[in-house]
Amino acid sequence: MKQRILTGLILAPLAIAFILLSSTTVFAGVLVIVWAIAMWEWTRLIGTPLMATRILASAVGVAGLAGLWLVRGQWLWWLAIVAGVLWWLIALSWMRHFSFAASPTARNRRIKLLAGAFVLLPAWAALIEIHGHPRLGATWTLFALLLVWAADSFAYFAGSRFGRNKLAPRISPGKTLEGVWGALIGTSLIAVGGGLWLGQRGVPLALLVALALLCVIYSILGDLFESLMKRQAGVKDSGALFPGHGGMLDRLDGVFAAIPAFAVGKFAIDLLFPA
């Protein structure tokens, strides 16, 4: 725990400064590196046997990010983000069938490689979309990420203190329903405070809080899905990049799931209540 806290204290200020001070182009470029690391960890997690195949798969993923950048703002861009929202409904069905694609066959690795594309690429596009918003885009990006980080923290502390009923014991035995409630309640308070600070009032604020709660559910799905992949792979962490925190996937699993939902929800709120 001490190692986790120390790592968090070092990374948090750096991440906040980067989000708030970077241009969207620089933000996107640095996130390509972050996502490339996550892609590399994903190829390891799904059991890709050959180094050359892992390199090729990661390179194709980075090329996919570049392709998305070229169609930024067009219908293909938004199609990718919406696909990232819908994908997690499929992932939920996958998690209900615990043993699906569990055996380390070439066919199952291809399925998981495709799943990784739906996990990773839409989330990158969604973050860039939020950050590039003409009004307080960087601040909205920080707000969206804070919702995910807060949900994780509130779930951990509520589950540790009050946890009795397991959420998905076959996938992640440590997660509890009490932790989910803690995440929902705590994040709703963050959403209200952050929404007021960002100038939201009345119905837009209520919709923003509802969106935040939806993002909590999505972040939990992202966390559970990565836990399922790790359990099928027989590993504790996706990597060892961050002492006490694991790898890049371990740090961003909830973000990958929640951010596309936030981007779509924020776009809808803006359409209904333009500034």
Q: Looking at the predicted structure, is the pLDDT value of residue 171 above 90?
A: yes
The 10s digit of each residue's pLDDT in 203-237 is 999 999 999 999 999 999 999 999 999 999 998 88
For residue 40, the Cα-to-chain-centroid distance in whole angstroms is 16
**pLDDT for position 239:** 75
pLDDT grade for 2, boundaries at 50, 70 and 90: low
- Average pLDDT estimate for 24-35: 97
pLDDT averaged over the chain? 93
Alpha helices in 46-104 (DSSP H): 51-70, 75-96
**pLDDT for position 107:** 95
Q: Looking at the predicted structure, is the pLDDT value of residue 3 above 80?
A: no
**pLDDT for position 10:** 74
The 10s digit of each residue's pLDDT in 236-248 is 888 766 655 678 9
Q: Looking at the predicted structure, is the pLDDT value of residue 62 above 60?
A: yes
CA angle (145 as vertex; 184, 30 as ends), nearest 5: 160
Spell out a b/e string for 97-112, using b for 16 or more CB atoms within 10 Å of the CB, else e.
eeeebeeeeeebbeeb
**pLDDT for position 247:** 85
The 10s digit of each residue's pLDDT in 73-100 is 999 999 999 999 999 999 999 999 989 9
Most distant CA atoms of the chain, gap in Å:
55
- Average pLDDT estimate for 22-32: 97
Task: Tell me the C-alpha distance between 118 and 139, whole Å.
Answer: 26
Over pLDDT 90: what percentage of the chain? 83
**pLDDT for position 38:** 95
CB 241 within 8 A of CB 247: yes
Residue 189 main-chain phi, psi, to 5 deg:
-65, -40
The 10s digit of each residue's pLDDT in 134-146 is 889 999 999 999 9
